[in-house]
Amino acid sequence: KEKLEDSTPKQLSQSEDARTGLSVEALKKAIFNNLFYVQGKYPEIATRNDYYMSLAYAVRDRLLQRWVASVKQYLDGRHRIVSYLSAEYLLGPHLANNLINLGIYKEVEQATQELGINLQWLLDKEVEPGLGNGGLGRLAACYMDSLATLEVPAIGYGIRYQFGIFEQEIRNGWQVEDTDNWLRRGNPWEIARRELNYEVKLGGYVQHYIDRDGKFRSNWIPELTVKGVAYDTPILGYKVNTTNTLRLWKSEAPKSFDFQSFNSGNYNNAVNQKIVCENISKVLYPNDETVSGKILRLQQQYFFVSCSLQDMIGIHLRQGDKIEDFNVNFAIQLNDTHPAIAIAEMMRLLVDEYDLEWVDAWRVTTRTFAYTNHTLLPEALETWDLELFGSVLPRHLELIYEINRRFLDEVTIKVFGNNNKINSLSIIGEGPRKFIKMANLACAGSFAINGVAALHTDLLKSTVLKDWYALCPEKFSNKTNGVTPRRWLVLSNPKLTSLISSKIGESWIKHLEELKQLEAFADDPEFQLAWMGVKYEMKKILCNRILNKTGIKINPDSLFDVHVKRIHEYKRQHLNILHVIALYNRIKKNPDIEIVPRTFIYAGKAAPGYKMAKLIIKLINSVGEIVNNDPDVRDRLKVVFYPNYNVSNAQVIYPAADLSIQISTAGKEASGTGNMKLSMNGALTIGTLDGANVEIREVVGEENFFLFGLTAEEVAKKKKEGYNPYGYYLENEELKMAIDQIASGYFSHLDDTIFKDLVDNLLYHDPFMVLADFTSYVTCQEKAALAFQDKKSWAKMSILNTARMGKFSSDRSIREYCDDIWKVKSVSVHLDVKD
């Protein structure tokens, strides 16, 4: 900290202290100044929001100093830049995170206290930017934190949705959606860069002609042109000066619009067109792992990709470099196929706008892009109806045809004319209607392809992308996901952070492998007591939150069984609730049964159009209503559905978990990242051999992990042989009883229609093999309950989980991306700006 202060420009250090100083006095002065000069208030009439804003601007000033220095240094030093293209960023609140990364949490706590206000009260005021659905968007946010912390020059590009992921309420047990108007009170963390804007064409048709030099040319006449305006948010690394940019695009009507409307005199039409333009960045699509083929979604993808590429090319050319060398200055990572249209757009820019020959353009493109795949679910692999695609991007359709023609020419030779292989590799799918396969476009146009966990990458190679792997094995690698310990430990679990640091110092925060040193204390009774003491305190905090939000009183001594993530059949929240019902029935059958008291905590949003997921939420709440209020249960079981799962709520839930529920059908969850956050916070995992669970179990040790269920291989085999769920239903009495109760209306005031679809689906289809894994799950849960009773041994297992989670820092993931894929080096940023 002292070093930072020393390097503040001398001529500014006195007068600018209120803008850059990190001492309690300087911070107090800054907050007070902002209250007056930004909010226009004096303390007696200032609202909570006024104070929040004043503090946020004080923190932003300190970021700006580092941000400007970072940008200047990147450009002056002509450093290679990583560009992360993602349709989602699930950032979570900025303020507390920035305080931690600046290293001034304590100072600000004191400063606010001396001003007579409580810091937590202000932190809770922040509305989080929910610009993502779940794991994919949150991963992008963790990666932005790690890129900055590792001092890697990087820009994150995305969309500034006016409405992020909907807010979830539970009414009468059902999910009800409300819009997320996150910008309502303004956003102190972004800077609008009105001067940074680009035009993006949509629709229309393409003219072809031969120019004066005899060159074949294409001219795209759009139906509509929209403008993208840059909104920048600084992303500061942990205790470094590096501050990268998250650049999100807002869509607007271009200036020429006013002119057109004026001339044509058609005012209504002009206003409508303006609305059409603004609609593009209006709202985040709330679907996770499903594609719906909506025109607006394609427009969103193309809109942000085109703005981003134009922006990068601008940066590149301003450095005086040749367009042919674009790939020297930029490495672009595609976060799944959502931004994969970038490959065609790059070709359009290079060929149509910058006059490169096709082969030169293709060389630049295929040396620039790298593609991360995040799913094996067939319904999540993006395709676009060819006609729809052509109506939005007529020029890109031509370019994709040409990319595909040249590509298939090469491929045909390599696969000796094998038609099955050619069809599977083709970017264009044939059938009653033709369609564009975005994953194939991404694979063809990228120099690297990666999965997000070891098992996932293996399955990609052997199933979904098998023919691609045969064609170009050198492109493939695995990059197991990670999460940032700054947000998911330091910020969300400050007590555990202090306890850890009291034993091994603080450098684990940047070098998570150092948590290993905790192993030495795993058997230490005093440490075990302190460890479980922190857990207990975090559980009590969660108890209060749950009481406030749901009115349900829960017991902090009970086992907290935590299942939090998007609601999806493959994640099997219904397997969990079947277990709850089985335990409930055991109590009903024998009210004096010895049973470990448990609290089942669920949270997660269902896509608004996903009927089965919404029904699962209703089922959880219905079972809860019966179980929670049955006097025979004597509070030994409680079922809680925590509403509106988001980053802020996750930060309260993870530290309080005893058991982490990771029970997806093996082979379906690409990685999972909640599994990492929970284990890092000392929860033990009960899980299948799926996604990153496999690697978590490997590092924590099989004796510290509750494993159950079919393996991915067994799942595939069973499916092939013909899976009959009904047989499992008949075989297991507890399972049969639970399903019969659901069907008969036992949990729904005798309404036997509500859950019919869910029950029929389980009995006659069960695509995610819930019934096949039920017995194994229940047995494994018995082991977990037994283990929970042995407090000392549980404490040890919990400590060892945290101690061995070093691998799952997103710093490790990002380091691998930097070394193996992007080939970028870190650049340390200094604050002594010379002018």
Interface residue list for ligand GPW (CB under 6 A): 133-136, 139, 288-289, 336, 374-375, 380, 452, 481, 669-673, 691
Residue 534's φ and ψ, nearest 5 degrees, are -60, -45
Q: Considering the complex, what minimum distance in angstroms separates the CB of residue 301 from ligand GPW?
A: 12
Task: Check: CB of residue 677 under 8 Å from CB of residue 90.
Answer: no
Question: Which of 160, 250, 566, 636 does the annotation list as catalytic?
Answer: 566
Nearer to ligand GPW, 347 or 464 (CB): 464
The position carrying tokens 């493939």 is 476
Q: Considering the complex, what minimum distance in angstroms separates the CB of residue 566 from ligand GPW?
A: 7
User: Torsion-angle region of residue 316: left (phi > 0), alpha (psi -120 to 50) or beta?
Assistant: alpha
Cα 267 to Cα 258: distance, rounded to the nearest angstrom:
9
What is the DSSP code string of 129-169? Answer: -EES-SHHHHHHHHHHHHHHHTT--EEEEEE--SB-SPEEE
Task: Check: CB of residue 436 under 8 Å from CB of residue 379.
Answer: no
Cα 620 to Cα 641: distance, rounded to the nearest angstrom:
7
Q: Considering the complex, what minimum distance in angstroms separates the CB of residue 380 from ligand GPW?
A: 4
Cα 292 to Cα 285: distance, rounded to the nearest angstrom:
10
Q: How far does CA 633 lie from the centroid of its chain?
A: 38
Nearer to ligand GPW, 98 or 168 (CB): 168
Question: Which of 201, 677, 697, 812 does the annotation list as catalytic?
Answer: 677
Q: What is the 3-state secondary structure (H, E, C) of 657-696?
A: CCEEEECCCCCCCCCCCHHHHHHHCCCEEEECCCCCHHHH
Q: Name 660's Cβ contacts closer than 8 Å, sequence gap at least 6.
A: 562, 674, 675, 678, 679, 683, 684, 685, 686, 687
Q: Name 197's Cβ contacts closer than 8 Å, sequence gap at least 6.
A: 227, 228, 229, 230, 252
Nearer to ligand GPW, 232 or 289 (CB): 289
Q: Considering the complex, what minimum distance in angstroms separates the CB of residue 439 from ligand GPW?
A: 10
Cα 144 to Cα 235: distance, rounded to the nearest angstrom:
7
Nearer to ligand GPW, 478 or 651 (CB): 478
Length of the chain: 835
The position carrying tokens 């007070």 is 32
Nearer to ligand GPW, 452 or 627 (CB): 452
Q: Name 338's Cβ contacts closer than 8 Å, sequence gap at least 6.
A: 86, 87, 88, 301, 382
Question: Which of 62, 227, 486, 571 does the annotation list as catalytic?
Answer: 571
Nearer to ligand GPW, 378 or 525 (CB): 378
E strand or H helix at 231, and its extent? strand 224-236
Nearer to ligand GPW, 300 or 375 (CB): 375
Residue spans of beta strands (DSSP E) within 58-139:
81-85, 89-90, 130-131
Which residues in 88-114 are b (16+ Cβ under 10 Å) and which e?
Answer: bbbbbbbbbbbbbbbebbebbbbbbee
Cα 800 to Cα 739: distance, rounded to the nearest angstrom:
38
Nearer to ligand GPW, 655 or 672 (CB): 672
Nearer to ligand GPW, 373 or 528 (CB): 373
E strand or H helix at 498, and its extent? helix 494-504
Helix orientation angle between 525-550 and 494-504, rounded to the nearest 10 degrees: 170
Question: Which of 673, 685, 688, 802 does the annotation list as catalytic?
Answer: 673
Nearer to ligand GPW, 201 or 565 (CB): 565
Q: Is 775 a catalytic residue?
A: no
Q: Considering the complex, what minimum distance in angstroms separates the CB of residue 135 from ligand GPW?
A: 3
Q: Is 677 a catalytic residue?
A: yes
Nearer to ligand GPW, 584 or 808 (CB): 808
Question: Which of 28, 62, 316, 374 does the annotation list as catalytic?
Answer: 374
Q: Is 374 a catalytic residue?
A: yes
Greatest alpha-carbon span in the chain: 93
Nearer to ligand GPW, 672 or 709 (CB): 672
Nearer to ligand GPW, 87 or 522 (CB): 87
Tokens (6 digits) for 135: 């794991």
Q: Which of 661, 652, 622, 651 is nearest to 639 (CA)?
A: 622
Residue 223's φ and ψ, nearest 5 degrees, are -85, -30
Q: Considering the complex, what minimum distance in angstroms separates the CB of residue 143 from ligand GPW?
A: 10
Task: Check: CB of residue 549 under 8 Å from CB of residue 642.
Answer: yes
Q: Considering the complex, what minimum distance in angstroms separates the CB of residue 470 from ligand GPW?
A: 22
Task: Check: CB of residue 90 under 8 Å from CB of residue 140.
Answer: yes
Report helix, strand or coil for 818: helix
Q: Which of 715, 700, 702, 728 is nearest to 801 (CA)?
A: 700
Q: Considering the complex, what minimum distance in angstroms separates the CB of residue 808 from ligand GPW?
A: 11
Q: Which of 249, 246, 209 is nearest to 228 (CA)?
A: 249
Burial level of 686, CB count in 10 A (0-12/13-18/19+)? buried
Name residue 558's amino acid: S
Q: Considering the complex, what minimum distance in angstroms separates the CB of residue 802 from ligand GPW?
A: 20
Q: Which of 436, 495, 439 is nearest to 466 (CA)?
A: 439
Q: Which of 323, 440, 314 is nearest to 371 (CA)?
A: 440
Q: Considering the complex, what minimum distance in angstroms separates the CB of residue 151 from ligand GPW?
A: 24
Q: Considering the complex, what minimum distance in angstroms separates the CB of residue 365 from ligand GPW?
A: 22
Q: Considering the complex, what minimum distance in angstroms separates the CB of residue 717 from ligand GPW?
A: 23
Tokens (6 digits) for 723: 């899976």
Q: Is 783 a catalytic residue?
A: no
Name residue 507's amino acid: S
Question: Which of 60, 421, 565, 605 does the annotation list as catalytic?
Answer: 565
Task: Check: CB of residue 82 under 8 Å from CB of residue 152.
Answer: yes
Rg of the chain over all Cα atoms, to the nearest angstrom: 28
Q: Considering the complex, what minimum distance in angstroms separates the CB of residue 503 from ligand GPW?
A: 31
Active-site residue set: 374, 565-566, 571, 673, 677
